[in-house]
Structure 1
Amino acid sequence: MIFMLGLKIAVVGNINRDIIVKAGRYVGKRAKAEYFEEKIGGSATNYARCLAKLGSKTWLFANAGKDFSQMVFSDLASYSVNPEHIGVVNEKNGTVIVVTEGREKRMIFWRGANETLKNRDFSHLQHFDVVQICDVEKEVAEKIIEKNKKETRLFMDPGYGLSLPASKIKNILSSVHTMFIEGKEAETITGRRDPKNAIRILHSFGVEHVLFKAENGLFFSNGKKMYFQPIAPVNVVDTTAVGDVIGGVFIHLFYDKKYEIKKALLLTEIAAAVKVMHYGFYAPSFSEIAEMAKKLKWKV
């Protein structure tokens, strides 16, 4: 009998305190909050929790502030994320305030402890099969690439930190195996917002695989063929962190568990449908994905 050990996956990026508020009707300059919640967040943290919940062996490389570290470690333990490479620093934890007003959403962020990530030693990353970098500064990405072994595949979700014109990050793009990207990021990096042209440009800079998170669904290209999975028709409550869930689920299914590409995309989109029916970050379980597939009447 052959046992598949699975990939060792390191996720590098931010740990945030997410403060999520849904504003009601304004009277003058004041509005009563219809919903309020404080959660652990950060793109890398979301990827790691999503991966670990589904069963991938996952380590998070990030820095937490002393003021929030106990809550961070407790939360990550509940998802089985390995905390071995989480540093605790004498800075306030990174914080993001998300305010939803009708169909509009505003985000205010404080980098805090996340700013100290550039001081870390990333030599341990060469012991992993996949290194996923999420919303890190250019300086951090370059340090990671310096330490990266050829056998280790580098995945990237640019977020705010790496949404720079391709000409300014071409050394990073040429080192990336798989990129997870959405419209605004693509427009900043490639100058094109439409998936097919943006993907073509990313391939020209050396990116091997691209998963484009579009408004109408998911586009995936391996450089030879492009696949499309339409969006699931559900009532959206909140899209916060849906891109992180898409990336995490897809890595688990396609790269770690070797699902066929069409099935991996289908299940990833169903997972996204589960997430958008919850406020803030939410990592779907396999049972929730299966239940949503039944509701959608999608054959999986």
Structure 2
Amino acid sequence: MMTDTDKRSAVLSIGRIYCDLIFTGLSELPVLGRELFADDMQIAAGGGAFISAAHLVHAGRKTALVARLGTDVLSGDARRQIAKSGVDLRFVEHAAEAGPQVTVAAVIGKERAFLTRRAGAAIPSTLNDAFSWPEAKHLHIAEYATLHEIPDLVQRAKSKGLSVSLDPSWDAALIYDKGLLQACAGVDLFLPNLEEAEAITGSSDPETALRVLSSTFPHVALKGGAQGAWTISDGNMLHVAADSVPVVDTTGAGDAFNGGFIDAWLDEGSPLACLTAGIRSGSLAVQSPGGFDMSLVPT
């Protein structure tokens, strides 16, 4: 007989949904007063919440987005792509003032620059329904900005018996907030990249930053892009190198890593298994424009 515990295996992924306009084949960044032409452009559903969710689904984990989405043309296109990925949309609120949310990404080799517009508030009217979903086991918060807008988000998830992960995500207005770590109290799994970890801890050394963060969070994974990723368990540091793959666009690679790592972590995988799963998902993301390659979806 299946118990209530057996039913709880799904992930809720909360955060803003964007329509990503990804320009590739650039030789330089735009300069004021000059027009620059890209070799190619892709329009893709984006935002950490969706990208992590899509890679969780690709790993075989039922995952639902908890988000707001506009009613404009760009938001509608993003919704169609999200639906195609297999991510559950039952907790997505549709509202005109929630869109369009757009990120323009200029990609030069392995580097990129972003220009983003947010729209409306982050908190969806569906949040209580999401927390009452009997299949939900875990909440992934795709950016600290969402927690900043919904300060009791972690506590509400914990009161429902959910574990919680958080990717701080780069936001220059928030990443240097001295109260960030305190605001993240209760988070089980913290998932920064090297730049974010340095901003939070003041150290550019991965091992030092990881040890500082592990004094606050039970589990930490530190993403280093081409350098691979690190985690710490029982005081022991573990590093796994990045896979050698052709890189088209690194947009969303960290969010893809989150999806793979969280899936293995929820299955109580070893630190090595979790890092390996995260890197595998991140490697898939960098081989095509955008954070999730729709060709991965079974036809």
TM category (shorter chain) comes to 0.7 to 0.9
Looking at structure 2, the residues matched to 274 and 239 of structure 1 have their Cα atoms a distance apart, in angstroms, of 10
**Secondary structure class of the residue paired with 1:33:** coil
**Secondary structure class of the residue paired with 1:47:** helix
Partner of residue 89, structure 1: 95
Partner of residue 14, structure 2: 12
Partner of residue 183, structure 1: 194
Looking at structure 2, the residues matched to 72 and 286 of structure 1 have their Cα atoms a distance apart, in angstroms, of 17
Given that 2:144 and 2:166 are in contact with CA atoms closer than 8 Å, whether structure 1 keeps it comes out as no
Given that 2:11 and 2:137 are in contact with CA atoms closer than 8 Å, whether structure 1 keeps it comes out as yes
**Secondary structure class of the residue paired with 1:250:** helix
Partner of residue 158, structure 2: 149
Given that 2:20 and 2:43 are in contact with CA atoms closer than 8 Å, whether structure 1 keeps it comes out as yes
Note if 1:158 corresponds to 2:168.
yes
Looking at structure 2, the residues matched to 25 and 262 of structure 1 have their Cα atoms a distance apart, in angstroms, of 37
Amino acid at match of 1:11: S
Aligned residues: 284
Q: Where is the strand percentage greater, Structure 1 or Structure 2?
A: 1
Looking at structure 1, the residues matched to 296 and 273 of structure 2 have their Cα atoms a distance apart, in angstroms, of 14
Task: Name the CA shift for 1:54/1:104 in 2 (closer, same or farther; >3 Å).
Answer: closer
Partner of residue 108, structure 1: 115
Give the TM-score normalised by structure 1. 0.83
Note if 1:41 corresponds to 2:46.
yes
Unaligned residue ranges in structure 1 (runs of 5+): 288-300
Amino acid at match of 2:247: V
Task: Name the CA shift for 1:285/1:270 in 2 (closer, same or farther; >3 Å).
Answer: farther
Task: Name the CA shift for 1:201/1:285 in 2 (closer, same or farther; >3 Å).
Answer: farther
**Secondary structure class of the residue paired with 1:60:** strand
Q: CA offsets per residue over residues 96-115 of structure 1, 9 Å max, x none?
A: 00012355421000002xx3
Task: Name the CA shift for 1:36/1:229 in 2 (closer, same or farther; >3 Å).
Answer: same
Partner of residue 51, structure 1: 56
Looking at structure 2, the residues matched to 254 and 175 of structure 1 have their Cα atoms a distance apart, in angstroms, of 17
Deviation at 1:236, TM superposition (A): 2.1
* Correspondence for 1:73 among 75, 79, 88: 79
Looking at structure 1, the residues matched to 91 and 296 of structure 2 have their Cα atoms a distance apart, in angstroms, of 27
Partner of residue 137, structure 2: 129
Unaligned residue ranges in structure 2 (runs of 5+): none
Deviates more, 1:188-197 or 1:28-37: 28-37
Given that 1:271 and 1:284 are in contact with CA atoms closer than 8 Å, whether structure 2 keeps it comes out as no
Looking at structure 2, the residues matched to 231 and 143 of structure 1 have their Cα atoms a distance apart, in angstroms, of 35
Task: Name the CA shift for 1:207/1:225 in 2 (closer, same or farther; >3 Å).
Answer: same
Amino acid at match of 1:177: D
Larger RCO: 1 or 2 (CA < 8 Å, sep 6+): 2
**Secondary structure class of the residue paired with 1:62:** strand
**Secondary structure class of the residue paired with 1:20:** strand
Looking at structure 2, the residues matched to 156 and 24 of structure 1 have their Cα atoms a distance apart, in angstroms, of 32
Q: CA offsets per residue over residues 156-192 of structure 1, 9 Å max, x none?
A: 0011348534631233332110011101111111111
Q: CA offsets per residue over residues 171-224 of structure 1, 9 Å max, x none?
A: 3332110011101111111111222111111122x2110010014111012353
Partner of residue 65, structure 2: 60
Note if 1:270 corresponds to 2:280.
yes
Looking at structure 1, the residues matched to 167 and 272 of structure 2 have their Cα atoms a distance apart, in angstroms, of 21
Given that 1:209 and 1:223 are in contact with CA atoms closer than 8 Å, whether structure 2 keeps it comes out as no
Deviation at 1:283, TM superposition (A): 4.9
* Correspondence for 1:140 among 131, 134, 149: 149
1:183-262 counterparts in 2 under 5 A? 183-204=194-215, 206-215=216-225, 216-255=227-266, 257-262=267-272
Given that 1:141 and 1:172 are in contact with CA atoms closer than 8 Å, whether structure 2 keeps it comes out as no
Looking at structure 1, the residues matched to 177 and 188 of structure 2 have their Cα atoms a distance apart, in angstroms, of 15
Given that 2:25 and 2:107 are in contact with CA atoms closer than 8 Å, whether structure 1 keeps it comes out as yes
Looking at structure 2, the residues matched to 10 and 103 of structure 1 have their Cα atoms a distance apart, in angstroms, of 30
Give the TM-score normalised by structure 2. 0.84
Q: Which runs of 4+ in 1 moved over 6 A?
A: 284-287
